[in-house]
Structure 1
Amino acid sequence: MTDSYRGVFGAIPYAIRNTDSWAMRVYGVVGAVAAAFITLVVTLGLVVWMGETAEVQSGTFLFSRSLYVIAGFAAVAPLLAPLLFVARRHRRDDRVAAGYDRWLAAAGFVFLVSLYLGMVISAPADLRDPTDSVVVSALYALPPRAGFAPPIAGAGLVFLTHFRLRDAGDAGEDGEAPGASDDERAGDHPGNNGEANESD
């Protein structure tokens, strides 16, 4: 029996140790580092922002701070979700579709790319570097609010992948051992020793 874990911080190394997918192991490291970096940036940014607006008694600023924290959490949660799903799957030995860990890792990497695209689209004009790339120029041409679209789509892909592959594994569960053949199942019936019954 594999050891268990406690909380989010325990689930990350647990998922990396117990998965058979190298893609998930790589994502476990990359995703955890990215989530820690985003958490640090959001925390430091919030501290600086609160210091600059400490004397401002306005509901608008308080609401903006709340949105800032929510946006940071919304970026971190889908990054950690593949690891949490995989850790839970291995701890409970859930039946899932083949390639569950690998496909969740792929969805996690897609979400990382979507975060980058969102930052490029929503970058302020004074922070945009001149570029000859047609793709980057096209992203710059989009309205800043469109920067929310890629991360939302990427997060949706992570959770859709989990639910689709989990449901596919549940649909195949009929109480029989995985991979059991028809002959093996026939031998489990009482009175059947694997030999054909002779008729009178």
Structure 2
Amino acid sequence: MGRFDSYSGLLTAYPYAFRHSDSRLFRSYVVVSALLGALFAFLMAGALVVLVGNTAGARGGSLTLSRTFYVVVGLFVFAPLVGPVLLVARRHRRETPVAPRYDAALGAAGYAFVISVYLGVVASMPAEFRTNGELVARPEPSGLFAPVVELLYAIPGVASPVVPLVGALVVYAVHRWYRSKRGNGERA
């Protein structure tokens, strides 16, 4: 067994899953997930640094809770983003018998999660917000996807996290469904 025949963590699981998967859809998701994961980690680290800098002189309590909330929200987005890659890498390392389209299905579910995060961000956009001291209204829906955007705008801001939650549940459901040998719900 050579040095690169297995993986030892998150970073090495990416090239391992890319090399061992036959699905082009999944391989493309590995690349997209790596880029989005790195961007998300960078943005979350920057946001946490700014939050800590803005609240450095304050006492604990609710400020400490908001710092923790950043980390928890970050994990709820990051885990389903990298989950399909980790699941496929684990499946190939253990040579677990699964349905023939397991890798492709997890790649598609991963893309569905990425889209659901974007849709959740759109749904959370308030009708009016301040930027640089100016009161700005969110853009009116137009074009081909106007009905979808109107539907997303109709979701209350408090309920907008439900959209990416559904995307994360889709990733989990696809994993559970396709980990059987035939993809018909029977256990391997």
The TM tier, using the shorter chain, reads: 0.7 to 0.9
Taking the aligned partners of 2:39 and 2:13, their CA distance within structure 1 comes to 18
Q: Percent identity, please.
A: 42
| Aligned mate of 1:43, from 42, 45, 50 | 45
Taking the aligned partners of 1:139 and 1:117, their CA distance within structure 2 comes to 7
Taking the aligned partners of 1:47 and 1:131, their CA distance within structure 2 comes to 34
1:12-49 C-alpha deviation (Å, 9 max, x unpaired): 11101110000000000001111111111111011001
Taking the aligned partners of 2:181 and 2:124, their CA distance within structure 1 comes to 37
Q: Which moved more, 1:127-136 or 1:61-70?
A: 127-136
| Aligned mate of 2:168, from 137, 155, 161 | 155
**In the alignment, which residue of structure 2 is the partner of 1:105?**
107
Q: Which has the larger Rg?
A: 1
Shift of 1:102: 0.4
Which residues of 2 match residues 1-200 of structure 1 at below 5 A? Answer: 3-124=5-126, 125-126=128-129, 128-132=138-142, 133-168=146-181, 171=186, 173=188
Alpha carbon RMSD of aligned pairs, Å? 1.9
Q: Which moved more, 1:56-65 or 1:128-137?
A: 128-137
Kindly indicate whether the alpha-carbon contact (under 8 Å) linking 2:100 and 2:181 is maintained by their aligned counterparts in 1: no
Taking the aligned partners of 1:134 and 1:165, their CA distance within structure 2 comes to 33
Moved over 3 A (4+): 167-173
Shift of 1:168: 4.3
- Other structure's SS at 1:167 match: coil
The answer for unaligned runs of 5 or more in structure 2 is 130-135
The answer for unaligned runs of 5 or more in structure 1 is 174-200
Determine which structure has the larger strand proportion and give its number.
2
Q: Which moved more, 1:123-132 or 1:94-103?
A: 123-132
When normalised by structure 1's length, the TM-score is 0.80
Counterpart residue identity of residue 129, structure 1: P
- Other structure's SS at 1:5 match: coil
**In the alignment, which residue of structure 1 is the partner of 2:132?**
none
- Other structure's SS at 1:38 match: helix
Shift of 1:68: 1.1
Question: Paired residues, what number?
Answer: 173
Counterpart residue identity of residue 68, structure 1: Y
**In the alignment, which residue of structure 2 is the partner of 1:177?**
none
- Other structure's SS at 1:56 match: coil
Taking the aligned partners of 1:17 and 1:36, their CA distance within structure 2 comes to 20
Taking the aligned partners of 2:148 and 2:180, their CA distance within structure 1 comes to 37
Taking the aligned partners of 1:96 and 1:134, their CA distance within structure 2 comes to 38
Determine which structure has the larger helix proportion and give its number.
1
Counterpart residue identity of residue 107, structure 1: A
